[in-house]
Amino acid sequence: MTALPRTGLPGTVPAGTVPAGEEPGHDGPSDLHAHFDQTLDRERRIEPRDWMPDAYRSTMIRQIAQHAHSEIIGMQPEGNWITRAPSLRRKAILIAKVQDEAGHGMYLYSAAETLGADRADLTDKLVHGRQKYSSIFNYPTLTYADVGVIGWLVDGAAICNQVPLCRSSYGPYARAMVRICKEESFHQRQGYELLMTMMRGTAAQRAMVQDATNRFWWPSLMMFGPPDDQSPNTAQSMAWGIKRHTNDELRQRFVDMTVPQAEKLGVTLPDPDLRWNAQREHCDFGSVDWAEFMAVVKGNGPCNAQRVARRKAAHDEGAWVREAAAAYAAKHARREAA
Protein backbone atom coordinates (compact mmCIF):
# COMPACT_ATOMS: atom_id res chain seq x y z
CA MET A 1 0.00 0.00 0.00
CA THR A 2 1.31 3.42 -0.92
CA ALA A 3 1.76 5.82 1.94
CA LEU A 4 -0.56 8.78 1.78
CA PRO A 5 0.68 12.35 1.98
CA ARG A 6 0.18 13.74 5.46
CA THR A 7 -2.12 16.65 4.70
CA GLY A 8 -5.17 17.38 2.63
CA LEU A 9 -3.25 18.87 -0.27
CA PRO A 10 -4.59 18.75 -3.82
CA GLY A 11 -3.66 15.63 -5.69
CA THR A 12 -3.74 13.30 -2.72
CA VAL A 13 -6.13 10.68 -4.05
CA PRO A 14 -7.79 11.32 -7.40
CA ALA A 15 -11.56 10.77 -7.19
CA GLY A 16 -12.65 7.29 -8.19
CA THR A 17 -9.15 5.78 -8.02
CA VAL A 18 -9.51 3.91 -4.76
CA PRO A 19 -9.02 0.25 -5.69
CA ALA A 20 -12.02 -2.02 -5.18
CA GLY A 21 -11.99 -3.53 -1.71
CA GLU A 22 -9.83 -0.77 -0.32
CA GLU A 23 -12.65 1.64 0.50
CA PRO A 24 -12.84 2.61 4.16
CA GLY A 25 -14.72 0.09 6.19
CA HIS A 26 -12.96 -2.84 4.47
CA ASP A 27 -10.00 -4.60 5.98
CA GLY A 28 -7.75 -2.75 3.54
CA PRO A 29 -6.52 0.76 4.09
CA SER A 30 -9.01 2.40 6.33
CA ASP A 31 -6.13 4.90 6.28
CA LEU A 32 -8.14 6.85 3.74
CA HIS A 33 -10.80 7.55 6.27
CA ALA A 34 -8.22 8.12 9.00
CA HIS A 35 -6.42 10.56 6.71
CA PHE A 36 -9.67 12.42 6.01
CA ASP A 37 -10.35 12.66 9.77
CA GLN A 38 -6.80 13.84 10.44
CA THR A 39 -7.10 16.52 7.79
CA LEU A 40 -10.20 17.83 9.53
CA ASP A 41 -8.61 17.53 13.01
CA ARG A 42 -5.68 19.60 11.81
CA GLU A 43 -8.07 22.23 10.41
CA ARG A 44 -6.69 21.59 6.93
CA ARG A 45 -8.92 21.78 3.89
CA ILE A 46 -10.39 18.89 1.94
CA GLU A 47 -9.59 19.49 -1.73
CA PRO A 48 -11.40 18.08 -4.80
CA ARG A 49 -8.90 15.28 -5.44
CA ASP A 50 -8.75 14.13 -1.83
CA TRP A 51 -10.62 11.04 -0.80
CA MET A 52 -13.80 11.92 1.10
CA PRO A 53 -16.72 9.84 2.42
CA ASP A 54 -19.69 9.70 0.05
CA ALA A 55 -21.91 11.32 2.68
CA TYR A 56 -19.49 14.27 3.01
CA ARG A 57 -19.51 14.71 -0.77
CA SER A 58 -23.30 14.57 -1.02
CA THR A 59 -23.76 16.95 1.93
CA MET A 60 -21.37 19.43 0.33
CA ILE A 61 -23.15 19.18 -3.02
CA ARG A 62 -26.51 19.68 -1.31
CA GLN A 63 -25.42 22.77 0.60
CA ILE A 64 -23.43 24.36 -2.24
CA ALA A 65 -26.19 23.71 -4.79
CA GLN A 66 -28.86 25.17 -2.49
CA HIS A 67 -26.64 28.17 -1.90
CA ALA A 68 -26.03 28.64 -5.66
CA HIS A 69 -29.77 28.32 -6.40
CA SER A 70 -30.49 30.92 -3.69
CA GLU A 71 -28.14 33.41 -5.30
CA ILE A 72 -29.73 32.94 -8.72
CA ILE A 73 -33.36 32.92 -7.54
CA GLY A 74 -32.40 35.82 -5.24
CA MET A 75 -31.87 37.98 -8.33
CA GLN A 76 -35.62 38.04 -8.95
CA PRO A 77 -37.08 39.98 -6.00
CA GLU A 78 -34.65 42.86 -6.41
CA GLY A 79 -34.48 42.58 -10.20
CA ASN A 80 -38.20 43.38 -10.04
CA TRP A 81 -37.26 47.01 -9.20
CA ILE A 82 -34.53 47.68 -11.78
CA THR A 83 -36.90 49.28 -14.29
CA ARG A 84 -38.56 51.34 -11.55
CA ALA A 85 -35.52 52.56 -9.60
CA PRO A 86 -36.07 56.19 -8.58
CA SER A 87 -32.87 57.59 -10.14
CA LEU A 88 -30.12 56.65 -12.56
CA ARG A 89 -27.72 56.28 -9.62
CA ARG A 90 -30.04 53.89 -7.78
CA LYS A 91 -30.63 51.94 -11.00
CA ALA A 92 -26.87 51.53 -11.61
CA ILE A 93 -26.32 50.39 -8.00
CA LEU A 94 -29.17 47.88 -8.21
CA ILE A 95 -28.06 46.46 -11.56
CA ALA A 96 -24.53 46.00 -10.18
CA LYS A 97 -25.87 44.26 -7.08
CA VAL A 98 -28.10 41.86 -8.98
CA GLN A 99 -25.19 41.11 -11.32
CA ASP A 100 -23.01 40.31 -8.30
CA GLU A 101 -25.60 37.72 -7.19
CA ALA A 102 -25.33 36.06 -10.60
CA GLY A 103 -21.56 35.95 -10.14
CA HIS A 104 -21.94 34.33 -6.71
CA GLY A 105 -24.20 31.69 -8.22
CA MET A 106 -21.55 30.96 -10.88
CA TYR A 107 -18.67 30.57 -8.37
CA LEU A 108 -20.86 28.24 -6.33
CA TYR A 109 -21.97 26.07 -9.26
CA SER A 110 -18.27 25.79 -10.18
CA ALA A 111 -17.49 24.71 -6.61
CA ALA A 112 -20.23 22.05 -6.84
CA GLU A 113 -18.72 20.83 -10.12
CA THR A 114 -15.40 20.15 -8.35
CA LEU A 115 -17.33 17.50 -6.38
CA GLY A 116 -18.54 15.80 -9.55
CA ALA A 117 -21.96 17.50 -9.74
CA ASP A 118 -23.28 18.41 -13.16
CA ARG A 119 -24.54 22.00 -13.48
CA ALA A 120 -27.38 21.12 -15.87
CA ASP A 121 -28.52 18.39 -13.49
CA LEU A 122 -28.53 20.84 -10.55
CA THR A 123 -30.64 23.32 -12.51
CA ASP A 124 -33.00 20.52 -13.48
CA LYS A 125 -33.38 19.53 -9.83
CA LEU A 126 -34.11 23.14 -8.87
CA VAL A 127 -36.82 23.72 -11.48
CA HIS A 128 -38.45 20.38 -10.66
CA GLY A 129 -38.50 21.09 -6.91
CA ARG A 130 -35.97 18.39 -6.02
CA GLN A 131 -33.47 20.88 -4.57
CA LYS A 132 -34.18 23.81 -2.27
CA TYR A 133 -33.26 27.48 -2.26
CA SER A 134 -33.49 29.99 0.56
CA SER A 135 -37.00 30.55 1.91
CA ILE A 136 -36.46 34.33 2.00
CA PHE A 137 -36.76 34.70 -1.77
CA ASN A 138 -40.35 33.49 -1.76
CA TYR A 139 -41.61 36.79 -0.35
CA PRO A 140 -42.68 39.61 -2.68
CA THR A 141 -40.92 42.98 -2.97
CA LEU A 142 -43.83 45.41 -2.78
CA THR A 143 -42.10 48.80 -2.60
CA TYR A 144 -38.70 50.30 -3.35
CA ALA A 145 -37.92 50.28 0.39
CA ASP A 146 -37.81 46.47 0.08
CA VAL A 147 -34.59 46.84 -1.95
CA GLY A 148 -32.97 48.65 1.00
CA VAL A 149 -34.36 46.22 3.56
CA ILE A 150 -33.14 43.22 1.57
CA GLY A 151 -29.65 44.78 1.54
CA TRP A 152 -29.78 45.52 5.26
CA LEU A 153 -31.51 42.44 6.68
CA VAL A 154 -31.17 39.70 4.04
CA ASP A 155 -27.57 40.46 3.09
CA GLY A 156 -26.89 41.12 6.79
CA ALA A 157 -28.20 37.65 7.68
CA ALA A 158 -26.27 36.18 4.75
CA ILE A 159 -23.01 37.71 6.02
CA CYS A 160 -23.61 36.38 9.54
CA ASN A 161 -24.17 32.91 8.11
CA GLN A 162 -21.43 33.01 5.48
CA VAL A 163 -18.41 34.60 7.20
CA PRO A 164 -17.87 31.39 9.23
CA LEU A 165 -18.23 29.41 5.97
CA CYS A 166 -14.95 31.04 4.81
CA ARG A 167 -13.44 28.50 7.27
CA SER A 168 -15.55 25.64 5.94
CA SER A 169 -13.58 22.40 5.52
CA TYR A 170 -14.13 22.09 1.75
CA GLY A 171 -11.47 24.22 0.01
CA PRO A 172 -13.29 25.45 -3.13
CA TYR A 173 -16.40 26.40 -1.11
CA ALA A 174 -14.41 28.23 1.56
CA ARG A 175 -12.44 30.17 -1.06
CA ALA A 176 -15.59 31.13 -3.01
CA MET A 177 -17.07 32.35 0.25
CA VAL A 178 -14.21 34.80 0.89
CA ARG A 179 -15.04 36.78 -2.23
CA ILE A 180 -18.79 36.42 -1.80
CA CYS A 181 -18.61 37.79 1.75
CA LYS A 182 -16.66 40.86 0.62
CA GLU A 183 -19.37 41.61 -1.92
CA GLU A 184 -22.25 40.82 0.46
CA SER A 185 -20.80 43.21 2.99
CA PHE A 186 -20.80 45.96 0.36
CA HIS A 187 -24.41 45.05 -0.49
CA GLN A 188 -25.42 45.33 3.13
CA ARG A 189 -23.94 48.81 3.35
CA GLN A 190 -25.66 49.97 0.18
CA GLY A 191 -28.99 48.73 1.57
CA TYR A 192 -28.44 50.54 4.86
CA GLU A 193 -27.39 53.73 3.04
CA LEU A 194 -30.57 53.61 0.93
CA LEU A 195 -32.67 53.23 4.08
CA MET A 196 -30.84 56.08 5.86
CA THR A 197 -31.64 58.29 2.86
CA MET A 198 -35.32 57.28 2.90
CA MET A 199 -35.54 57.86 6.67
CA ARG A 200 -34.31 61.42 6.12
CA GLY A 201 -37.06 61.87 3.49
CA THR A 202 -40.83 62.30 3.78
CA ALA A 203 -43.20 60.70 6.29
CA ALA A 204 -44.43 58.43 3.47
CA GLN A 205 -40.88 57.25 2.78
CA ARG A 206 -40.29 56.52 6.47
CA ALA A 207 -43.55 54.57 6.57
CA MET A 208 -42.39 52.52 3.56
CA VAL A 209 -39.15 51.60 5.37
CA GLN A 210 -41.07 50.59 8.51
CA ASP A 211 -43.52 48.51 6.47
CA ALA A 212 -40.71 46.72 4.61
CA THR A 213 -38.92 46.05 7.92
CA ASN A 214 -42.13 44.61 9.38
CA ARG A 215 -42.51 42.23 6.43
CA PHE A 216 -38.87 41.08 6.18
CA TRP A 217 -37.82 40.79 9.85
CA TRP A 218 -39.25 37.35 10.66
CA PRO A 219 -38.44 35.78 7.25
CA SER A 220 -34.83 37.01 7.75
CA LEU A 221 -34.61 35.09 11.04
CA MET A 222 -35.88 31.98 9.18
CA MET A 223 -32.92 32.18 6.78
CA PHE A 224 -30.72 30.55 9.44
CA GLY A 225 -32.72 27.34 9.21
CA PRO A 226 -34.82 25.42 11.75
CA PRO A 227 -34.04 25.52 15.49
CA ASP A 228 -31.08 23.35 16.47
CA ASP A 229 -33.27 20.65 18.01
CA GLN A 230 -35.11 20.30 14.68
CA SER A 231 -32.09 20.58 12.37
CA PRO A 232 -31.25 17.11 11.03
CA ASN A 233 -27.98 18.15 9.36
CA THR A 234 -26.25 20.44 11.86
CA ALA A 235 -24.53 17.88 14.11
CA GLN A 236 -22.85 16.00 11.25
CA SER A 237 -22.02 19.17 9.32
CA MET A 238 -20.36 20.64 12.42
CA ALA A 239 -18.42 17.42 13.01
CA TRP A 240 -17.13 17.65 9.43
CA GLY A 241 -16.27 21.35 9.78
CA ILE A 242 -18.72 22.26 7.01
CA LYS A 243 -20.72 24.41 9.41
CA ARG A 244 -18.85 26.23 12.20
CA HIS A 245 -21.85 27.37 14.25
CA THR A 246 -25.36 26.08 14.79
CA ASN A 247 -28.43 27.72 13.25
CA ASP A 248 -29.55 29.14 16.61
CA GLU A 249 -26.10 30.56 17.42
CA LEU A 250 -26.01 32.45 14.12
CA ARG A 251 -29.62 33.64 14.46
CA GLN A 252 -28.76 35.06 17.90
CA ARG A 253 -25.65 36.75 16.52
CA PHE A 254 -27.76 38.36 13.78
CA VAL A 255 -30.37 39.65 16.25
CA ASP A 256 -27.67 41.11 18.51
CA MET A 257 -25.99 42.80 15.56
CA THR A 258 -29.20 44.20 14.03
CA VAL A 259 -30.96 45.69 17.06
CA PRO A 260 -28.57 48.68 17.42
CA GLN A 261 -28.66 49.19 13.63
CA ALA A 262 -32.48 49.44 13.77
CA GLU A 263 -32.25 51.96 16.62
CA LYS A 264 -29.81 54.10 14.67
CA LEU A 265 -32.03 53.93 11.61
CA GLY A 266 -35.12 54.88 13.62
CA VAL A 267 -37.25 51.83 12.78
CA THR A 268 -38.98 49.45 15.17
CA LEU A 269 -38.35 45.72 14.81
CA PRO A 270 -41.76 43.97 14.88
CA ASP A 271 -41.18 41.89 18.01
CA PRO A 272 -42.58 43.02 21.39
CA ASP A 273 -40.38 40.46 23.16
CA LEU A 274 -37.13 41.93 21.86
CA ARG A 275 -35.03 43.17 24.79
CA TRP A 276 -31.46 43.07 26.08
CA ASN A 277 -30.82 40.30 28.59
CA ALA A 278 -27.92 41.45 30.78
CA GLN A 279 -27.52 37.99 32.28
CA ARG A 280 -27.14 36.23 28.93
CA GLU A 281 -25.45 39.26 27.34
CA HIS A 282 -27.68 38.72 24.32
CA CYS A 283 -31.00 40.07 23.09
CA ASP A 284 -34.03 37.96 23.93
CA PHE A 285 -36.48 37.69 21.07
CA GLY A 286 -39.93 36.19 20.37
CA SER A 287 -40.74 32.87 18.73
CA VAL A 288 -40.34 32.42 15.01
CA ASP A 289 -43.39 30.99 13.22
CA TRP A 290 -41.85 27.67 12.19
CA ALA A 291 -45.11 26.51 10.61
CA GLU A 292 -44.80 29.38 8.14
CA PHE A 293 -41.16 28.44 7.49
CA MET A 294 -42.09 24.82 6.78
CA ALA A 295 -44.90 25.89 4.45
CA VAL A 296 -42.54 28.15 2.47
CA VAL A 297 -39.82 25.49 2.27
CA LYS A 298 -42.39 22.96 1.02
CA GLY A 299 -43.29 25.29 -1.87
CA ASN A 300 -46.32 27.07 -0.43
CA GLY A 301 -44.89 30.54 0.18
CA PRO A 302 -46.35 33.63 -1.49
CA CYS A 303 -44.01 33.55 -4.52
CA ASN A 304 -42.62 29.99 -4.81
CA ALA A 305 -44.48 29.09 -8.00
CA GLN A 306 -43.64 32.39 -9.69
CA ARG A 307 -39.92 32.22 -8.77
CA VAL A 308 -39.47 28.69 -10.09
CA ALA A 309 -41.50 29.39 -13.25
CA ARG A 310 -39.36 32.49 -13.97
CA ARG A 311 -36.16 30.49 -13.42
CA LYS A 312 -37.35 27.73 -15.75
CA ALA A 313 -38.39 30.22 -18.45
CA ALA A 314 -35.00 32.02 -18.24
CA HIS A 315 -33.20 28.67 -18.49
CA ASP A 316 -35.27 27.56 -21.49
CA GLU A 317 -34.84 30.91 -23.24
CA GLY A 318 -31.08 30.72 -22.68
CA ALA A 319 -30.74 27.36 -24.48
CA TRP A 320 -29.40 29.04 -27.64
CA VAL A 321 -26.62 30.76 -25.64
CA ARG A 322 -25.48 27.43 -24.19
CA GLU A 323 -25.60 25.81 -27.64
CA ALA A 324 -23.60 28.69 -29.18
CA ALA A 325 -21.00 28.54 -26.38
CA ALA A 326 -20.65 24.76 -26.80
CA ALA A 327 -20.27 25.11 -30.60
CA TYR A 328 -17.63 27.83 -30.13
CA ALA A 329 -15.69 25.72 -27.61
CA ALA A 330 -15.87 22.67 -29.94
CA LYS A 331 -14.58 24.75 -32.88
CA HIS A 332 -11.59 25.93 -30.81
CA ALA A 333 -10.91 22.42 -29.53
CA ARG A 334 -10.85 21.16 -33.16
CA ARG A 335 -8.45 23.95 -34.18
CA GLU A 336 -6.14 23.20 -31.28
CA ALA A 337 -6.15 19.49 -32.11
CA ALA A 338 -5.39 20.15 -35.82
Residues near ligand BYC (CB under 6 A): 62-63, 66-67, 70-71, 74, 101, 132, 134-135, 154-155, 158, 161-162, 222-226, 231-234, 237, 243, 247, 297
Q: Is the CB of 49 or the CB of 244 nearer to ligand BYC?
A: 244
Nearest distance, CB of residue 247 and ligand BYC, angstroms: 5
Q: Is the CB of 50 or the CB of 101 nearer to ligand BYC?
A: 101
Main-chain phi, psi angles of 283, to 5 degrees: -80, 135
Q: Which of 222, 152, 157, 162 is nearest to 190 (CA)?
A: 152
Q: Is the CB of 65 or the CB of 208 nearer to ligand BYC?
A: 65
Nearest distance, CB of residue 217 and ligand BYC, angstroms: 14
Nearest distance, CB of residue 321 and ligand BYC, angstroms: 22
Residue 139 CA from chain centroid, whole number:
17
Q: Is 73 exposed, middle or buried (0-12, 13-18, 19+ CB in 10 A)?
A: buried
Residue 135, strand partner residues = none
Q: Is the CB of 32 or the CB of 176 nearer to ligand BYC?
A: 176
Q: Is the CB of 114 or the CB of 247 nearer to ligand BYC?
A: 247
Nearest distance, CB of residue 302 and ligand BYC, angstroms: 14
Nearest distance, CB of residue 158 and ligand BYC, angstroms: 3
Nearest distance, CB of residue 122 and ligand BYC, angstroms: 13
Q: Is the CB of 32 or the CB of 136 nearer to ligand BYC?
A: 136
How far the first Cα of the chain sits from its last, in Å, is 41
Angle among Cα 286, 290, 292 to the nearest 5 degrees reads: 110
Q: Which run of H or of E encompasses 138? A: none
Q: DSSP string covering 296-330, please?
A: IIIIISTTHHHHHHHHHHHHHHTHHHHHHHHHHHH
d(CA 59, CA 65): 10
Q: Is the CB of 16 or the CB of 232 nearer to ligand BYC?
A: 232
3-class SS at 21?
Answer: coil
**H-assigned helices in 119-202:** 119-127, 145-149, 155-162, 171-199
Q: Is the CB of 236 or the CB of 277 nearer to ligand BYC?
A: 236
Residues 6+ apart with CB under 8 A from 204: none
Nearest distance, CB of residue 108 and ligand BYC, angstroms: 9
Q: Is 257 exposed, middle or buried (0-12, 13-18, 19+ CB in 10 A)?
A: middle
Sign of CA dihedral 158, 160, 162, 163: positive
Nearest distance, CB of residue 128 and ligand BYC, angstroms: 14
